[in-house]
Structure 1
């Protein structure tokens, strides 16, 4: 008969050795040489980039969505005036088509190496603009669908109250549309955060780039990559939880 106590002791010794190995590797990878500061800096840049790019994306997306609304395709008997009125709509359609039809990494490199290549602009600003414009194309479609989901009677009610088209859109249509598309906007923000992992192509320090630096110095990939993946996972889970709370509050306000 095998000695149960000896087997149990061996199992606990193996578990203890495993966790000790993880601890030693954690200290070696992150603590020694203060390499954890790379992760901290990368996390800070990732959050800054994501937040400001999302703000630009929402602003650009809302403007483009309003321009692309079918109701804004104004008709006129003057061909020249009609041509001028059609230019913003054409530009908005071209912007959305180009952004959605090309890989983001290519867009980022074009921004960094061609458009702002000789300007000396800060890499973070270039990345914010690139991510913001990319996100704006997708947000525009989200807003456009949200605005078109609002009943036409809302616009007619606004005009019957003496509001201009702009005031009706600003005070009646857009607030309701934002409320309807808020979950989709939250998902777009989550996607944006994960997409920032490619910003290393322009040598900007983010979480993923920080992991690359640590790997190049420690010659071990397990702990840096798993650690960065866990950080991304925690961020996304927090955002998802927050979005869930907002959705429940919106549903509660609708039922009142």
Structure 2
């Protein structure tokens, strides 16, 4: 109904203005009115396609991140079932927070509700189109995974080293770059990481006088973990995001080392 209304108004006013002009200018104005009405009609008919192109363009700007989130927020449970609940929430969040403002600014606000599922499907397709690095390259054991993450940080310009197994106070890696200290906890999991890891690395950052804190995993994070991380300034990362992690002072440590 909204689409019909948005078409009826331009056609009506084109006819009114053109008809009035035709009374004064005759046949040329009548022909021009017909052409203008045809352009209005063609533009209206092309509107759904322009809408889909816009949504796809917005999603493609964030394609790599969406693909990582899809991988993080999907896992196989103990019964062999593929659980995608986290990814389903993530893609809807992306549509609401990132796509909707764009389409509303471009005159498609009437599509926000009636074509919401279509937007979600486009986001799903864009995320699936990205070819990510092979997940099997990350070691399965905890110690190996910690070294794997430390190596990635080193390649990105950090001076990174793993901590000893005992007495680390929740820190698996301590790294420094540009006088910024990063404290990391690594989780090689088969399910989303909970908020306990966020609590531990936040405490570890204070112990190690860290400026930044992060939990790195191959899996995703629970909603509770994301909420706590937002409140504490802890980064929640997939290991593929480590090469793009830049030093930023966020957390003030309480103990000098």
Q: Which has the larger share of strand?
A: 2
The alignment's TM-score, normalised by the length of structure 2, stands at 0.26
Q: Which has the larger share of helix?
A: 1
The alignment's TM-score, normalised by the length of structure 1, stands at 0.26
Q: Which has the higher contact order (CA 8 A, sep 6+)?
A: 1
